[in-house]
Chains A and B, each alone.
Chain A
Amino acid sequence: MRRSILSVGDWLALPVVAALIALCCAPLLILLAYSFFQVDFVTISYDLTLANYAKIAGSETYRGLIARAFGSAFLVVTLTAVIGYPVAWFVAKRVHAAKSTLLTLLLVPLYSGDLIRIFAWRVLLGAEGAINRSLMWLGVIDEPFSGLLFSPLATHIALTYNYLPFMVIGLWLAFESLDDRWLEAAADLGAPAPARFLRVILPLTVPGLVAGGLMVFVMVAGDYLTPQLLGGASGITIISAINDLFGTAFDWPLGSAIAWTMLSILMVCFGLGALAIRRSSLVAEDV
C-alpha cells in the first residue's frame, strides 16, 4: 500500500473535497473578498476597504439586528432544551422496542420542508385561523386574538417547532451513553433525586446539550423563511437584510460583510461549544 502517495481513503475523499471546495469554500471566500469591496454608484469598485465593516459596527440598526438574531437563537435553544430534555430521556431510557419508531416519528415532520410547516402554522395561528376560531367557538374569547400571527410569538413558536428534533437527537445520544450504574451508585450513597439530577445526570448530558444546542443555535440564527413569513413587521432580520442587500438594495459588498460578520460570530460560538464538549467529556472520563 505504500506504492502510491494517496491511500484508497484519500482517493475516495478527493472528489468530495473537490466538490466542497468548489461549491462551499470557494463561494464563501469570494464572499469574503467582496466584503472588502465597495459599491461606487452602480458598479462595484475593487479597491480593498474596511468601510463595510465600519458601517456595520457604526450602525445601530445592524448591531441591533445581529444582537436580536443571537438573542432569538439563544431563546429557542433554551426552549428546545427544556421541552426536549424529558423526551430524550424517555426515548433513551424508558422505551426499548419502539425506540427507533419514536425517533423516526420525531424526524418525519422535518421532511415536509420549511415552507409547508410555516404554511401550516399560518393556518393555525391566523386571526381566522384554527386556534382563534376554536377558542371563539368554545366561548373562551369573543373576538379573534390578532396578535397571534405575524408576531415574534408566531416566529418563535414555529422556530421551536422546526428545530426541536435536532435538540432531542443531540440529547438522546448523550442519554444513550449515560451509564445507569452512576445513578444507582449515587442513590446508594444517599443522594436525593434532585442531587442525582444536578450532579450526575446533568453534567453527563452536557455534551449532548451543547451539541444539540449548537445545531439549533446556528439554524435559528441563520433562518430566513420563518421570521419572514410569520413575523410580520418583526420579520426583518439580519438574514433578510443580507437578502435585501443582494436584491433590491444592490449593495453586495455590504451584504457580504454582514454575512461574514455573522459567520465569524457563529464560528466563535462553535469553537467555544467544541471546547465545552471536550472539557465536559474529560470530566465525564474522570468521574
Chain B
Amino acid sequence: MTRAATVWVYLVFGFMYLPIAMILLFSINDADVMAFPIQGLTAAWYADIIADARLGAGFLTTLFVAFPVAILSTLLGASAALALVFYPVRWKGIFAAALLLPFLVPRLILAVAQLILFKEVNIDRSLWTVIAGQSIIILPFSTLIIASVLIRLDRRLIEAAADLGASGWSSFRRVVLPLMGNGLLASWVIAFVLSSSEYVLTAFLSGREQPLSVLVASDFRFNLSPSLNALAVLIVFGNIALVVLAEAIRRRSGAKA
C-alpha cells in the first residue's frame, strides 16, 4: 500500500509541476509556435520581455503597490495574531471568523462591493484603492503565518519576564517582538508575493495606472506569444524564490524557540 501511495504522490507532484515545467520549456524554445518537438534553445523571448518598456512600467507599479500592502497586512496580521494567540480578546470566535471572511467571500464579489463603497464615498479608483483592497484580502494569510510562529513560542518566557519585573510593554518589546520577528518577515514576503500576483480585485480597483498582473492578463487574452512564457517563468521563479526564502525564515524561528 505504501508503494502504491508513493507512486501516487509522485504523480500528483508531477501534475502540480507539469504546467510550470511546460512554460519553462517553451520559454527557451526557438520557435514561434508553442508546440513539440522543441526546435532549439534561445534566450530571445527573455530579451523581448526585459526590453519591453510597458511591462517594465507595470513592474514598477506592482512594486509600488506590493510594498505598502505587505507592510499593512503584516502589521494588521501581527495585531490579529497576537490578540488570537497571546492576549485575551473579547468575542474571540467571532473575531477569528471575521478574519476568515475576506478569504471566503468570492474575490469578484468583494471587488464589486468595494467598488460600490468607494463610489459611494467618492473615492476615485487609483493605486491607493488597490492597496486598501489587497491588504484586506491578504490579511487572513499574514495572520495565519504570524500566528503559526506565535503558537510555537514558549509562554514561560513571558511569565519569566513578568516574574523578573518586566512590565507588559517591556516584556512584549524585549521578549515577544524579537521572537516573532521571523514571523513578521515571512508574512511580509508572502504578502508581497500574493499582492504582486493578485488580479481580479486589482483589475477592478485600479484606475489609469495598471500593475503588471493587469497588463499580463490583457496580453493573455489578446496576443498570446512565446515571450509570455518567458514573462511567466520570470514571475514564477521570482515568486518561488521569495516563498522558499519566507519558509526558511519561518522555520528557522521554529528551531530557535
Residue numbers of A with Cβ under 8 A of B are 7-10, 12-13, 15-17, 19-20, 23-28, 30-31, 34, 83-84, 86-87, 89-91, 94, 100, 104-109, 111-124, 126, 128-130, 132-134, 137, 161, 164-165, 218, 221-225, 229, 239, 242-243, 246, 252, 255-256, 259, 262-263, 266, 270
Q: Which of B116, B198, B224, B235 contacts A31 (CB 8 A)?
A: B116
B135 to chain A, nearest CB (A): 7
Residues 80-119 of B, flagged 1 when their CB comes within 8 A of A and 0 if not, give 1011001111100001001101101111111011111100
Dominant secondary structure at the B interface: helix
Identify the interface centre among B22, B35, B200, B224: most chain A CB within 10 Å of its CB. Answer: B35
Contacting pair A119 B79 (CB below 8 A) = no
Q: What is the total number of residues of chain B having a CB less than 8 Å from a CB of chain A?
A: 83
Q: Is B240 positioned at the interface, with any CB of A under 8 Å from its CB?
A: yes
Q: Is B174 positioned at the interface, with any CB of A under 8 Å from its CB?
A: no
Q: Is B69 positioned at the interface, with any CB of A under 8 Å from its CB?
A: no
Residues 206-236 of B, flagged 1 when their CB comes within 8 A of A and 0 if not, give 0000000100110011001000110010011
| Top 4 closest pairs, chain A to chain B, by CB | A222-B106, A113-B197, A120-B19, A9-B87
A108 to chain B, nearest CB (A): 6
Contacting pair A24 B87 (CB below 8 A) = no
B165 to chain A, nearest CB (A): 17
Residue in A closest to B6 when the chains form the complex, CB atoms:
A90
Residue in A closest to B12 when the chains form the complex, CB atoms:
A87
**B106 / chain A contacts, CB cutoff of 8 Å:** 218, 221-224, 239, 262-263, 266
Stretch with Cβ within 8 A of A (4 or more), from B41-49, B51-59, B243-251 = B243-251
Contacting pair B12 A83 (CB below 8 A) = yes
Contacting pair B33 A128 (CB below 8 A) = yes
User: In the bound complex, how far is the Cα of B187 from the Cα of A135, in angstroms?
Assistant: 43
Contacting pair A31 B109 (CB below 8 A) = yes
Given contacts A86-B8, A111-B243, A115-B217, contact A124 B132 (CB under 8 A): no
A-B contacts, CB under 8 A, total: 245
10 contacts between A and B (CB under 8 A): A12-B80, A12-B87, A30-B117, A31-B112, A115-B217, A120-B22, A126-B34, A224-B107, A262-B109, A266-B104
Contacting pair B236 A224 (CB below 8 A) = no
A219 to chain B, nearest CB (A): 8
Residue in B closest to A89 when the chains form the complex, CB atoms:
B5
**B122 / chain A contacts, CB cutoff of 8 Å:** none
**B243 / chain A contacts, CB cutoff of 8 Å:** 104, 107-108, 111
B95 to chain A, nearest CB (A): 6
Given contacts A31-B116, A90-B6, A111-B243, contact A13 B108 (CB under 8 A): no
Contacting pair B76 A24 (CB below 8 A) = no
**A19 / chain B contacts, CB cutoff of 8 Å:** 76, 135-136, 139
Residue in A closest to B217 when the chains form the complex, CB atoms:
A115
Residue in A closest to B240 when the chains form the complex, CB atoms:
A108
Q: Which of B2, B107, B247 contacts A104 (CB 8 A)?
A: B247
A143 to chain B, nearest CB (A): 14
**A134 / chain B contacts, CB cutoff of 8 Å:** 36
Identify the interface centre among B16, B87, B244: most chain A CB within 10 Å of its CB. Answer: B16
